[in-house]
Structure 1
Amino acid sequence: MILLLVFNFSMGQNSDNYNMWFQYLLSAKVTDKSTLTALTQYRSFDLAYDTRLFLLNAYMDYEVVDNIKPAVGAMFLILESYNADDTKRIRYEKRPFQQVTMENNIGRTSFSQRFRVEERFLSNPDEFEVRLRYLISVKIPFNKKGEKERLYGILKNEIRMNIVKDEPFDSNRLTAGIGIKTGKNSALELAFINQMETRRTSNYGFIGFRNSFDWRKKQK
């Protein structure tokens, strides 16, 4: 029902309606307090072939107090967009970032808030931008208490703002979907993403896969 409402809302706007977003995410517990997260994304203007974006991202967080985790990381992106004459412009971006994540639970529903500051170094033409991001995420289990988790709901909203720019508002990204557990430490996620910018709204079908690992040294 949520997906249908979001879809109907976004179709009524000036939008790109056939974009796809593919993602793989790996998280690994390195110590009792620190976790390494790495992901890769591929986004296209069509079902798969017309490249829109490719990125690699990795960061390490550390739990300073219960459920509060600062982190540092970096990202590399290849951005492809269309010019007015239907030719493509390719830009490269290097993006170090810093963030703090706060997590808590209400019953069995988990909430996560993330504040991120990122420094964007772009080419073609060369530009430097600083952007702030605030993300709130909700994970809703669909199984009854005591049952094995098989399905869960996903709700996210992220607002992104530029610093020292004529237009401070960058975009707002709304996500609604489901997760399907494929193993003890893996899940397939399917979602609809609506990204609203100042002059354009883009819609994505999202397909993601995530794995979690424990790389801590075992005590003998």
Structure 2
Amino acid sequence: MMKRTLFTILALVCLAAPLAASDNVHDSNGHLWFIYNGDHQFGSSPWGLHLEGQVRRAEMGDEWQQWLIRPGINYTLSPTLQFSAGWAYAMTYRYGDYPVAFDFPEHRAWEQVVYTAKALGLEWQHRLRLEQRWIGEMEGAGNDWNVENWRYENRLRYLLRTTIPLTESKRTFLILWDEVMFNFGNNVSGNHFDQNRAFIGIGHKLSEHTRMEFGFMEQTLQRRGGRIWEHNHTFGLWFMTKWPFKTL
């Protein structure tokens, strides 16, 4: 099963590679991401609350790239299977050598399933997420831009993640994950491949319910229209917690 999954991911990335033809434009950027990610179970109930906020900075922190909030509801069916759904809001800014014409907002509904399995002596996390996206199309001039239309798109995301203990206590560990994303729907043309994120980093458990993770992510992103490719070299810091909410 694991070998088939790895082969599928590799095949998807290889199929997307020919899209980067020689006449395309390539933009290289350095980014910093800061993320809070919390999953808070309601006592002994299978239900819980997901809280997430991200600050993404371009030019190694000098300028805004994007900020995002993503709340949701979790339902844990078993120790290895969890379902979630929620809403997200993102604001994207102009950055890089080939910036978009304007800053723009985006609303998303999202649904996901997370399945954990053991293979090759390691624990592997599979996350499949479906997003319904309303992307702001702007009109205006100078500093006065407003949303003229909300363009609807869909996006499918698949993430495969594992960790490798680096200490006997397993409190410090190596992190490896890759996430690939594809766009689909009537309003998508030129770039059904959206992006790929490959990450390597170090994590440390601060307590039973909290951990910090830091590492490097290489983000390969195909912009709308398919001609501009971003190669974003990104350092990220995650604070992650699973403190349960006490029931009254």
Q: TM-score, with normalisation over the residues of structure 1?
A: 0.82
- Alpha-carbon distance in structure 1 between the residues aligned to 2:100 and 2:221: 22
1:86 offset after TM fit, Å?
Answer: 6.6
Matched, 1:162 2:183: yes
Deviation at 1:85?
Answer: 8.3
Cα distance in 2 for partners of 1:197, 1:60 equals 29
Q: 1:84 to 1:153 in 2, by over 3 A?
A: closer
1:48 is displaced (CA, Å) by: 2.4
Over 3 Å counting, the alpha-carbon distance change for 1:98 and 1:118 in structure 2 is same
CA offsets 1:138-169 (integer angstroms, 9 cap, x no match) = 1222222xx3x320111111110001322210
For the residues of structure 1 that align with 2:240 and 2:121, how far apart are their CA atoms?
Answer: 20
Say yes or no: does 1:20 pair with 2:20.
no
Measured after TM superposition, the shift of residue 88 of structure 1 is 6.4
Aligned-pair distance for 1:61?
1.9
2:208 paired residue number: 184
Q: Structure 2 vs 1, CA of residues 107 and 170 (structure 1 numbering), >3 Å: closer, same or farther? A: closer
Question: What is the distance in 1 between the residues matched to 2:84 and 2:98?
Answer: 42
Unaligned runs of 5+ in 1: 1-12
Rate the CA distance shift 1:86–1:26 in 2: closer, same or farther, 3 A.
Answer: closer
Find the counterpart in structure 2 of residue 4 from structure 1: none
Q: How does 1:64-103 map to 2 (within 5 A)?
A: 64-65=77-78, 67-82=80-95, 89-103=102-116
Tell me whether 1:203 sits opposite 2:238 in the alignment: no
User: Does structure 2 conserve the Cα–Cα contact (< 8 Å) formed by 1:159 and 1:172?
Assistant: yes
Q: Which runs of 4+ in 1 moved over 6 A?
A: 83-88
Tell me, yes or no, if the aligned pair for 1:61 and 1:69 is still in contact at 8 Å: yes
Aligned position for 1:5: none
1:128-147 → structure 2 map (5 Å cutoff): 128-144=152-168, 147=169
Structure 1 residue 38 corresponds to structure 2 residue 68: no
Which sits farther off after the overlay, 106-115 or 201-210?
A: 106-115
SS at 2:93 equivalent? strand
Q: CA RMSD in A?
A: 2.4
Higher mean C-alpha displacement, 199-208 vs 58-67: 58-67
Unaligned runs of 5+ in 2: 1-24, 139-148, 223-228
CA deviation vs aligned residue, 1:112-159 (integer Å, no higher than 9, x gap): 111111011111333111111111111222222xx3x32011111111
- Measured after TM superposition, the shift of residue 25 of structure 1 is 1.4
1:58 corresponds, among 71, 88, 110, to: 71
1:110 maps onto 2:134 in alignment: no
Identity of aligned residues (%): 22
The number of residue pairs the alignment matches comes to: 203
Does the aligned pair in 1 maintain the 2:165–2:173 contact within 8 Å?
A: yes
SS in 2 for 1:183: coil
SS of the equivalent of 1:123 reads strand
